[in-house]
């Protein structure tokens, strides 16, 4: 039986990142649930500074239940941290993990441990507001780092969803074991024109934490906009391989 699909967005985004991919998956017969991480919705922005990685895990877990486990769980960018910790806590609810140009942290590592990425253009426009526990980013930096291969219209749509990013999940290490997270099959989709999470960093992560297969998209960080059809095709290929 083919698994249902849960999609988890990354930083400086929300569930609308998947607005083109999700319908394509549904047209192929997949039941799809889309996560909105805490602190990322219009109604939730005010509490962003209080949001934790545990809150992310709870949100992803709720969508696993909605989709009907065990599901294929896809995480983009920072969403890779959320799906990693979720898989450790709820491995039986997950048929496989797909990391889309995502952080794939080793046990005991936090996202911020991977911040020294010479290929990334995120740094110059990223501002930390420690008092309120959030980070912000400039529109120009987003265009350079996230949307360098995306149409201007799609880039502007993405920029319209910008809001302060919760900082606590960035500094919280994941805790994983071979017995739980380690037994969930993993796949990686690498993006060759990525200027947010550079291709070299992506490769270092999926090499250190081996995956069953690596797929390649010749696109930027926002492949759900810039390579929608091909991305959906890959996700469905992974799903079909698990039937």
Task: Locate the domains of the chain by residue range.
Answer: 5-241
Closest CA to 160 of 175, 178, 147: 147
Mean pLDDT of 71-90: 99
Does the pLDDT of residue 43 top 90, yes or no? Answer: no
Mean pLDDT of 139-166: 95
Mean pLDDT of 171-188: 98
Does the pLDDT of residue 46 top 90, yes or no? Answer: no
pTM of the model: 0.97
Question: Which residues on adjacent β-strands are paired with residue 60?
Answer: none
**Dmax of the chain from CA atoms?**
49
How many Å apart are CA 24 and CA 28, to the nearest integer?
Answer: 6
Does the pLDDT of residue 123 top 90, yes or no? Answer: no
pLDDT of residue 100: 99
72 band by pLDDT with thresholds 50, 70 and 90: very high
69 band by pLDDT with thresholds 50, 70 and 90: confident
Q: Into which CATH architecture does domain 5-241 fall?
A: 3-Layer(aba) Sandwich (3.40)
pLDDT of residue 38: 97
pLDDT of residue 44: 83
How many Å apart are CA 165 and CA 51, to the nearest integer?
Answer: 9
Question: Which residues on adjacent β-strands are paired with residue 94?
Answer: 71
């Amino acid at each position: 039986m083919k698994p249902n699909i849960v999609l988890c967005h990354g930083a400086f985004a929300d569930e609308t990142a998947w607005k083109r991919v999700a319908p394509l998956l549904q047209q192929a017969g997949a039941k799809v649930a889309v996560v909105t991480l805490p602190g990322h919705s219009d109604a939730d922005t005010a509490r962003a500074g209080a949001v934790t990685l545990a809150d992310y895990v709870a949100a992803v877990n709720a969508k696993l239940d909605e989709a009907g486990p065990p599901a294929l769980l896809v995480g983009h960018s920072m969403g890779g941290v959320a799906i990693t910790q979720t898989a450790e806590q709820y491995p039986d609810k997950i048929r496989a993990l797909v990391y889309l140009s995502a952080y794939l942290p080793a046990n005991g590592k936090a996202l911020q441990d991977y911040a020294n990425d010479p290929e990334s253009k995120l740094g110059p426009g990223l501002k930390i507001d420690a008092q309120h526990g959030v980070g912000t980013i400039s529109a120009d930096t987003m265009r350079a780092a996230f949307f360098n291969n995306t149409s201007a219209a799609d880039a502007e749509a993405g920029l319209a969803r910008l809001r302060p990013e919760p900082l606590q999940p960035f500094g919280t290490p994941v805790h994983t074991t071979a017995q739980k997270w380690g037994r969930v099959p993993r796949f990686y989709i690498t993006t060759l024109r990525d200027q947010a999470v550079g291709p070299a960093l992506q490769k270092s992560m999926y090499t250190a934490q081996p995956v069953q297969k690596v797929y390649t998209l010749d696109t930027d960080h926002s492949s759900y906009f810039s390579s929608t059809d091909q991305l959906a095709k890959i996700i469905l290929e992974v799903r079909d391989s698990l039937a």
